[in-house]
Chains A and B, each alone.
Chain A
């Protein structure tokens, strides 16, 4: 895959995080996460094409099944089951969120973080963008009041770390990647079950409605 194609994929990943910040609909967030995950899978597939190792193809397929198929499926079922069309609000309004997004992106491109993005000098721009996506995903988890948005934020954060690792040449052995993917799958199942339980207990996925731990 050409460097331009990889840049395009990373650009898509970055834009999906920005979209996750702005969207008000849960279905929009799930679609954005699916697109982001598909971009990650294509980046992983590129690693397979470059090395030709079948084990990497297995990891790519695993990532495709967990991130692109199962995760969105779990979320869509949760949304349908509980009628969660709109996500709960954010702590910051849209203009402020956009300012924070710009500031975080600038920070990720600043000289202070140059050692991190110069790990592979040829991928400087790609690593800066991956780092921006990481920080923006963290911001998403903090800024959102909805449990589903927080979960998608964590998954997006994990995607950003993976893409950073790929472009920094820090990919793990396929066995370990498969282990991480299995871990992620179990995490996903548990998080989805918890969201259902939270909805049952609190009648909402708004985490600010949880106020039972005041003693």
Chain B
């Protein structure tokens, strides 16, 4: 019953947001829904860790990778829900938004998180597709939340590009159903059924289908060259939503590609899909690293860093073996740390009222704890030892050094360029003189606790991975 409880709790919370005008109740219901989802996700993960998969009804299917992403959604979702309450209160106090906007925010956020949960737990690829489409629909208004021309533009771009991408993905998904045409129209085609019927799949059609699915879901995952919507959308959305978009949604979309990769690999062998993952992974890393050098907006900077990190994850799965294991760990670290960075960026934005790097100086003096969190998260995400991402990068690169030395060199170059670019911007923001009119001091402890909890979790996982999580990662990596 865990999965229906998770979905119901978010739907109830959304209904409360629609029907009630009492702000505290709306906030409390959203946090409660996220807390329920957090507990239930841990229970589901424990079951998957012990038995390999969890199929409570034919409608749901959770495998190891799905359980890991469930945990990511639950952790980041809870932190974002808690942070959002104080963040929106401060925005209301500044006169930026009113109660209607607050209600709209929590309703859409609840639906967004519910859609992500459904996407990773749905037993049918079509239900998964509908859920991913639902994430687009629920977030479009969150991206245009501030109702400014630039936000409208970002939201429109997001809606159009993702809709086209997802329709291509839908077409690819349908092509995977060809071996099962006798079941069409009446049967419920599940992921397991697709995997079990690969013997009857024409290899050429499998390749075409994979390309369509790849374009479709990678558009959502923000990999180059379908990434153009991502920096705009992630920089214009409210900071907590950016954390969910960057830290969670990209992973949700990415694992859909991985699920279809498994089916395709069974038909045409592993090299076909791996070559795509390696090629687009390294291109994403390079493009993001070069663009970061010239960034003038710190939220866009973080968005481009997400593109780079999805490139690293893609590279890891492309290399396979230890690379896949490291890629899954990287996915977890990235989700936790990128959310920390976006939430910290939100606090910086509240203080400085600007996302321009040039207008934000002396963060360490004005927001000491947030500044330290931001700096530490920067060191973490760029792979500075002893943090976990340092190890995952080393493992991913070492997995490919023998077979793809040129790719590894380009990836290494991209990492160095990205570090230099990121370092330049972060130091400019952290140090120096605080602009006049900016008073020192954190706005509220509730703006600090959620990012602190996320970075603490990531740091803990850098040195110790709990047994059940290790089993999940091992179980997931074995398929790649």
Which of A's residues lie within 8 Å of B, judged by CB?
47, 51, 53, 56, 115-116, 119, 134, 138, 141, 147, 150, 154, 157-158, 161, 164-165, 168-174, 176, 179-180, 183, 186-187, 190-191, 194, 197-198, 201-202, 207, 210-213, 215
Contact with A along B181-203 (1 / 0, CB 8 A): 10011111100000000000010
Contact in complex: A191, B205 (CB < 8 Å): no
A180–B129 alpha-carbon span in the complex (Å): 9
When C-beta atoms are compared, the residue in chain A nearest to B204 turns out to be: A115
**Cα distance, A115 to B212, chains bound together (Å):** 14
Which residues on B are within 8 Å of A, measured CB to CB?
Answer: 124, 126-127, 130, 133-134, 137, 140-141, 144, 147-150, 152-157, 159-160, 163-164, 167, 170-171, 174-175, 177-178, 181, 184-189, 202, 204-205, 208, 232, 296-297, 300, 356
Determine how close the nearest CB of chain B comes to the CB of A123; give it in whole angstroms.
12
CB of A6, distance to nearest CB on chain B (Å) = 17
Cβ contact within 8 Å between B184 and A116: no
User: Is there an interface contact between A179 and B178, defined as CB atoms closer than 8 Å?
Assistant: no
Q: Which residues of A contact B163 (CB under 8 A)?
A: 154, 187
Let me know if A154 and B164 touch, CB within 8 A: yes
CB-CB nearest in chain A for B161:
A141
Neighbour of A154 across the interface among B148, B150, B167, B204, CB < 8 A: B167
In the complex, the 3 A-B pairs of residues with the closest C-beta atoms, listed nearest first: A212-B150, A210-B153, A115-B204
A-B pairs under 8 A by CB, number: 112
Find the residue from B156, B175, B189 having the highest chain A CB count within 10 A: B156
A146 CB to nearest chain B CB (Å): 12
B167: chain A residues within 8 A (beta carbon): 154, 157-158, 161
Q: A158-B167, A173-B187 are in contact. List 10 more A-B contacts (CB 8 A).
A: A56-B185, A147-B156, A164-B174, A169-B181, A170-B184, A183-B133, A187-B163, A197-B147, A213-B154, A213-B157
Least CB distance, A167 to chain B, in whole angstroms: 12
Cross-chain contact B144 with A176 (CB below 8 angstroms): no
Determine whether the beta carbon of B137 is less than 8 Å from that of A161: no
Q: A172-B184, A190-B140 are in contact. Are A210 and B149 (CB under 8 A)?
A: yes
- A165 lies within 8 A of B174 (CB): yes
Q: A51-B185, A187-B133, A210-B149 are in contact. Are A134 and B171 (CB under 8 A)?
A: yes
